[in-house]
Amino acid sequence: MAEVNKINEKQVVSVESTDIDKVKKFRNDFAELTARMGEIEVELLNAEMITGNIKEAKLELASKYKTLRGEEVTLTNDFKEKYGNGEFNIEEATFTPEA
């Protein structure tokens, strides 16, 4: 005759509501923390993009500044050639030669 194995049923135990509340709080805290970490990553990415844009603008302005400085040298040399050494008063459209 076949042997019959005894089947043990698992016993179900009720968990106290305070313990359930602890697990729910942990899950909620964990979800909030990971969501905030994601938000920080997005904020950091935006800050890096803004910083990159600022650096590009700085490089563009620095290039224009260098160009203007070159134009200043050319303009100064042109005026010296035409008027000699001295002082220009742009508002009065006058030139005072060096003594």
Q: What are the structure tokens assigned to 83, written together?
A: 């008027």
Higher pLDDT, 29 or 95: 29
- For the cut 60, the answer to whether the pLDDT of residue 1 exceeds it is no
Q: What are the structure tokens assigned to 38, written together?
A: 């994601």
Given the DSSP bridges, would you call strands 94-97 and 86-89 parallel, antiparallel or unpaired?
antiparallel
Residue whose C-alpha is closest to residue 58's, from 43, 50, 42: 50
Q: How far is CA 30 from the centre of its chain?
A: 27
The per-residue pLDDT for 8 is 74
Q: What residue type is 79 in one-letter code?
A: F
Residue whose C-alpha is closest to residue 99's, from 82, 77, 84, 78: 84
Band (4; pLDDT cuts 50, 70, 90) = low
Q: What is the mean pLDDT of the chain?
A: 93
- For the cut 80, the answer to whether the pLDDT of residue 6 exceeds it is no
Tell me if 99 sits within 8 A of 86, measured CB to CB.
Answer: no
- For the cut 80, the answer to whether the pLDDT of residue 55 exceeds it is yes
Q: What is the mean pLDDT of residues 2-15?
A: 77
